[in-house]
Amino acid sequence: MSTLVIPMLTIFGLRLSGTVKSLHMHTTKDRMIPFSVTSIYFLLTTFFMHRISELDPIIWETMALISGVVVILTIVTIFWKMSAHMTGVGGLVALVLVLGFRFSNFQSLYPLLLSIFLSGGVASSRLFLNAHKPLEVYVGFIFGFLSCYFGFQWIWS
């Protein structure tokens, strides 16, 4: 709820109030408020998950990693329009790779192929819709992949 539904409703509310011109968020200015609000929701979720002692630390550490990526993406958005979609799928590919490396009983071939196929589909869609330039797509994927790859390696070390 706090990382999808509530941010989504907030962004729709911002659109209805005229604070955000378009849900497509074509400019970095359009992205700043929604990304900032989403970052706050992610950080609050991480904080509350950390406070629940019954949760395995890996759960809140994973949420902390994702929150950090979202916050950095928000900061980058002040200056440049990196693809958030590609950052997410880059993180997914990294997760599948790390799971395959760290856990010998995890069969990673098909999840890895699926995540790479999904990445290509998302990248093609972002470019086809003229939502991003190729460099924004590539950098988004690389940022998501590298930050999540090293972050998940650290979490499961």
DSSP letters along 28-70, please? Answer: HHHHHHHHHHHHHHHHHHHHHHHH-TTS-HHHHHHHHHHHHHH
Q: What rounded mean pLDDT belongs to the chain?
A: 91
pTM: 0.88
Is 45 in the same domain as 105?
no
Whether 71 maps to a domain, the answer reads no
Is 109 in the same domain as 141?
yes
Is 53 in the same domain as 109?
no
User: Do residues 147 and 72 make contact, with C-beta atoms less than 8 angstroms apart?
Assistant: yes
Query: Which pLDDT does position 23 carry in this prediction?
Result: 65
Nearest C-alpha neighbor of 2 from the set 34, 33, 56, 43: 43
Is 40 in the same domain as 88?
no
DSSP letters along 68-120, please? Answer: HHHHHHHHHHHH----HHHHHHHHHHHHHHHHHHH-TT---HHHHHHHHHHHH
Query: Which pLDDT does position 5 carry in this prediction?
Result: 83
Whether 69 maps to a domain, the answer reads no
Least confident of 25-34, 40-49, 78-87, 144-153: 25-34
Is 8 in the same domain as 53?
yes
Distance between CA atoms of 11 and 14, rounded to whole angstroms?
5
pLDDT digits (tens, 9 = 90+) for 96-147: 999 999 998 999 999 999 999 999 999 999 999 998 999 999 999 999 999 9
Domain count within the chain = 2
Whether 13 maps to a domain, the answer reads yes
**Residue located via tokens 């499961």:** 156
| More confidently predicted of 8 and 122 | 122
- Angle between the N-to-C axes of helices 109-128 and 84-102, in degrees from 0 to 180, rounded to the nearest 10: 170
Distance between CA atoms of 5 and 60, rounded to whole angstroms?
19
Whether 8 maps to a domain, the answer reads yes
Is 84 in the same domain as 156?
yes
Is 45 in the same domain as 107?
no
Is 93 in the same domain as 147?
yes
Give the structural domain span for 134. Answer: 80-157
Query: Which pLDDT does position 24 carry in this prediction?
Result: 65
Is 137 in the same domain as 86?
yes
Query: Which pLDDT does position 20 carry in this prediction?
Result: 75
